[in-house]
Every structure is written in structure tokens, then in C-alpha cells.
Chains A and B, each alone.
Chain A
Amino acid sequence: MMEISGSVTEQIKQAAKNYPNRRSAIMSALYLAQKNYGCLTEEVLEAVANTLNVPEIWVFELATFYSLYHTKPIGKFHIQLCTNISCLLNKSAAIQGYIETRLQIQNGETTDDGKFTLSTVECLGSCDKAPALMVNETYYENLDVRRTGEILDQLNGDN
């Protein structure tokens, strides 16, 4: 059976000290595990449950409820394009169309080389700088097609 690596286990145990019970630390543990392993496979979820000594179902139900947890593999660069109202009104659909054509993937898909995943997401809180997207944890705002092209060029060169 898989075990969570020593340094991540340490971080999880540290996070658990912030709460009066272990169940409250599951979200911190899932975040740390995903950051380290990329994806929350069943194996990883089991290992998280063992690390915190909580029932597996407690871990599994959170991993499948919250949208930032990935139980299936995603690309190295996760493009999260906001399509909520302020971005919609500022032509996020054109950005989506450009990305889909250039990367030859649809919303929710990953490129064959495993480099890019495209997801349309709800409001990112960049409404005054719409349209906006995130790549992994980095925000890109005030987008147009040209700027989006530059971002993809840069990520492509960044191995």
C-alpha cells in the first residue's frame, strides 16, 4: 500500500495542529497531497486517510465534492478560463474558441502530450479585469486573443 512521503506527512501533521480534530485537517491534507502527487488517485486518498487515521469515506467524499481536487490526471498546465457574466460580457467565448482551436482540445480535455488541460470555470474574482484565466495558481487578466497566444507561447517554451 502507498504511503505519503515523509515531508508531506510532516506538513499534514503540522496543519492538523490548527484544529481540535483530525477530520478538519482533511482539506489541508488533500491540498498538500495533490500539490505533491499531481492527482488524487484512489491510492493517494487511501494514504491520506491512513496518515490522518480517519475513515477513507471522509476523505473520498471531500475529494469528489470540491471542484479544485482532481481525482483524474490533468495536464502540466491547467488552464481555467472564467466564463461567468463579467467575462462573458467581455468576450471570454472568443478566448475559449482560440484556445480550443490552437490546442486542439475541447473544454475538459487534455492535450495528447499531457501538457495542457482546459477547463471553463466560474467567477475567479477578476471581474474588473475581464476576461481572465488562471494557469495552475497564476492569474492572467485583461485578456485578448493576442495576449492569450503569448501566454500559450510562453508556457510551450517552458519545459
Chain B
Amino acid sequence: MFNKVLLKNMVRPDSHTLRTYEATGGYKALANMLEKFSPDEVIDLVKRSNLRGRGGAGFPTGLKWSFVPKNVEKTPYLCCNADEGEPGTFKDRAIMEKDPHLMLEGMIIAAYAIGAKTAYIYIRGEYELCITRVEEALKEARSKQYLGPNILGSDFSLDVFVHRGAGAYICGEETALLESIEGRRAQPKLKPPFPAVEGLYKSPTVINNVETFACLPHILERGADWFSSIGPEGSPGPKLFCLSGQVNKPGLYEAPMGMTLRDMVEEYGGGACSGRIKAVIPGGVSAPLFPESELHIKLDFESLAAAGSMLGSAGVIVLDDSACVVQVITRITEFFNHESCGKCTPCREGLDWCAKILRRIEMGKGTLEDLDQLEKLCSTIYGNSFCALGVGASWALQSALKHFREEFVRHIDEGKCPFQ
């Protein structure tokens, strides 16, 4: 029986306040850590828990921290990626609105581990309530010495500031996020150097996702073995799933990873609205979709990667049999085209072409040659774009062309969208 970990406090009244957080044992993990753990011991604990980043790439968190060089002249920075913008994703919003201290305690733990004295939380500008709640939480934490100079009487000090985003999906990419904090246009930078070595203000920098931070106090409190015993070996720990689209019970669910896509839609979501699933996007719109025949695939990092998709942000979007895949992938491609930062040609020009061709097909004015052209464009963008935005966009489009080619052909043959 799985007991909720990340969502359990959110049902309490005033769950966002320090009083409620403390009443449920909040900040005890921090106090205990400062008393009993060295920074290296915290890194080791998180490594052993096998916590993998909850932002999209699933990189092992402890390993990422261990890349920060020791005893260098420049003090490391910590950043929280709260620029949640992957369509179909709303988990970080819930944490920041309803349990901001959980994220904050995780950040303080991480900052201690890597030796950071300053941290920034990059929150997307649309998330007004998140910004308000996190600012309030920072104030409350400072007033009780959980933040600021000499935290809880130790020699560890930390300042945390909110950086308000202003509408750019690309800021979810970590180097673009750092550029944005530095006051520049958010365009990704070449790696290496990786941020852990040279990031914000040319200092070593760790960037973790909101949900990743939210896992940390629990790992400190209950141990690495407890965490790694939940779910499949390669994808351990409690996980938030954002379920939306044409499904009877959309919402934010917490479960161990490793359940099948079908169980997520049928058991958690109460089935597709029309009763018949056509396709499921497993991890936000960058993740290739699966047709109904492949819903036995499991929702975890390794199973989805092996099946040619990804867990990504765990934004599970359901299409029932009334949905038009061509319309959906057209809108997705238009989204990526709109959000392309313009730095590299394959993404900037390629996605513009793809979007125009797709819109033409959706309107019934496409040709069969257009489908070949789309295939060619996808393979040109994939692997040649500067960052993952172009990769995700072309990957998603390829999956629609592969699994639903007959729907594209019907649009072309009938000269109109057959679903309207």
C-alpha cells in the first residue's frame, strides 16, 4: 500500500503556512541534518536514494551535485527551476501554491550539500499565486532562522531570492534559465562547460526542479533505503503525475512509477471521456505519443525511454476517439515554433515550415508530398538543433506521423478535417 508523501500535507487547512508545515514535522529534517550530517554525507545519501531529477531529463540528483568542484574560489549557486511550462504539466504549481515550505526545506538541504550561499527560484511570471506564496514562505522561514545568516545556530548561511520569469518556455532549459537570471535573452548556451562547473555568474551552479527539492526532506528523514524501495529499481521514489485531456477525472496524482499507461488513464482517470482511448502523451508535449495498442508500456524513466518516448514532466495527456491527431500535433508544433528562441536555424526555420505544412494539411489543403517533406524536416531538426526544444518538437511530430499516418492521408484525400 502506497501512502502519499508529496501531496499528503496539501489537504490540510492553510497548508502553505509555516505553522501547518511545522505541525506536520516540517524543518525537522533540516535541523537534524545540520546537527548530524556533513555536506558530503548528504550528497552520498541522495546518491544512494537514486533520486532522479523530476524536471524532465531524469538525471540522478546526487551525481549532479557531486560534479560541483570542491574548494574552488567561486562560491557555488543553487537554482530552482520553477519555470513550469511544458504543456500538460501543473505539479510544481501545486507544490508552490500549497506546500512551498516543502520545496524550500529541500532547497536549503541542497544548498548545504553543494556549499551554496545564495539561491534563486525562477518562477514563471504567470504563476502569480506561487510567487506570492513562495515570497511569504521565504519571509516566514527567515523569521524562524531556517534561512539567513547562521541557520538554526549553525555556521551555514543561505539567502534565497525569487526571480520572476516573463513568458518564455525556453527558460525551462537550464542554461537559458541562467541567462535569464543574468538579465539576458533566454537563449541556451553551449555545453560544456556544464553549469555544475561554470554556471551562474561563471560560478559552479546546480539547477534542480521544484518536485526534486520536495523529495529531499523526506529522504533525509526516512533514509535512502526507504526512498529507493518505492517503485521500480531504476525509477524510485514517489512521483507526481499530471493527468489531463479527454479523461473523466483529470487531476494531480501521486503514485510510485511503473504503472502502465492504461492503469493511469483507467484507474486514476476513470477512463477516456468517450470511453475509447485513441492515444496518450506520457510526459508533456515533447514526449512522443503512444496509440491505444501500446498502453501496456509503463510510466517510468527506463520503460518509456526503451519504448522511444520519455517520462519528461509526467504530464499525461489523453486523446479519446473524437480527437484529431493532426489538429493536436499541428497545435503542438505551432507551440514549439512560437517558443523557439531563434538561436539556431534547424529549430527556428524548420519548425516554422513544419507548422505551416501541418496547418495546411489540417485545413484539407495538403498533399502526400507534404508528408515526405515533414519526415525530411523532422530528421533534419532532430539531432541538429542547438538544444532539446527542437529535438522534442521533431520527436513528437515523428511519433504522430508514424502511428497515425492514415489520419494525415484522410485529411489529404477528403480535402478537409474528417473530425470536424
A25-60 interface (Cβ within 8 A of B):
25-28, 30-31, 58
Q: How many residues of B contact A (CB 8 A)?
A: 51
Interface presence of A107 (CB below 8 A): no
Would you call A88 and B331 a contact (CB within 8 A)?
yes
A74-132 interface (Cβ within 8 A of B):
83-86, 88-90, 122-130
Residues of A contacting B245 with CB < 8 Å? Answer: 85-86, 89-90, 127
**How long is the Cα–Cα vector from A30 to B183 in the complex, in angstroms?**
11
Residues of B contacting A20 with CB < 8 Å? Answer: 201
Residues of B contacting A67 with CB < 8 Å? Answer: 166-168
Closest to A20 in B: B201
Would you call A28 and B88 a contact (CB within 8 A)?
no
B312-340 interface (Cβ within 8 A of A):
315, 317, 319, 323, 327-328, 331-332, 335, 338-339
Closest to B88 in A: A127
Would you call B317 and A23 a contact (CB within 8 A)?
no
Residues of B contacting A126 with CB < 8 Å? Answer: 90
Residues of B contacting A130 with CB < 8 Å? Answer: 244, 250
- Number of residue pairs across A and B with beta carbons under 8 Å? 131
Residues of A contacting B175 with CB < 8 Å? Answer: none
Closest to A61 in B: B185
Interface presence of A7 (CB below 8 A): no
Residues of A contacting B163 with CB < 8 Å? Answer: 27-28
Of B123-131, B221-229, B346-354, which binds chain A?
A: B123-131
B87-101 interface (Cβ within 8 A of A):
87-90, 93
Interface presence of A24 (CB below 8 A): yes
Interface presence of B233 (CB below 8 A): no
Would you call A89 and B328 a contact (CB within 8 A)?
yes
Would you call A62 and B183 a contact (CB within 8 A)?
yes
How far apart are B61's CB and chain A's nearest CB, in angstroms? 23
Closest to B327 in A: A88
Q: A69-B166, A130-B250 are in contact. Are A88 and B328 (CB under 8 A)?
A: yes
Question: Residue A85 contacts which of B90, B129, B331, B338 (CB distance < 8 angstroms)?
Answer: B331
**How long is the Cα–Cα vector from A31 to B162 in the complex, in angstroms?**
13
* Best-surrounded residue of B252, B281, B331 (most CB of chain A within 10 A): B331
Residues of A contacting B214 with CB < 8 Å? Answer: none
Would you call B181 and A125 a contact (CB within 8 A)?
no
Interface presence of A158 (CB below 8 A): no
Closest to B285 in A: A85
Would you call A68 and B167 a contact (CB within 8 A)?
yes
Closest to A28 in B: B164
Q: How many residues of A contact B (CB 8 A)?
A: 40
Interface presence of A18 (CB below 8 A): yes
Question: Residue A24 contacts which of B182, B244, B246, B327 (CB distance < 8 angstroms)?
Answer: B182
What is the 8 Å Cβ interface bit string for chain A, positions 133-158, against chain B (1 contact, 0 not)? 01001110000000000000000000
Interface presence of B49 (CB below 8 A): no
Q: A88-B331, A125-B84 are in contact. Are A134 and B126 (CB under 8 A)?
A: yes
Would you call B317 and A85 a contact (CB within 8 A)?
yes
What is the 8 Å Cβ interface bit string for chain B, positions 77-110, against chain A (1 contact, 0 not)? 0000000111111100100000000000000000
**How long is the Cα–Cα vector from A32 to B285 in the complex, in angstroms?**
33
How far apart are B370's CB and chain A's nearest CB, in angstroms? 22
Would you call A127 and B90 a contact (CB within 8 A)?
yes
A-binding residues in B (CB < 8 A):
84-90, 93, 124-129, 161, 163-169, 180-186, 201, 242-246, 250-252, 281, 285, 315, 317, 319, 323, 327-328, 331-332, 335, 338-339
Q: Given contacts A26-B183, A65-B185, A123-B89, could you give 6 more A-B pairs where the C-beta distance is less than 8 Å?
A: A21-B183, A23-B182, A30-B166, A31-B125, A89-B319, A127-B88
B-binding residues in A (CB < 8 A):
18-21, 23-28, 30-31, 58, 61-62, 65-69, 83-86, 88-90, 122-130, 134, 137-139
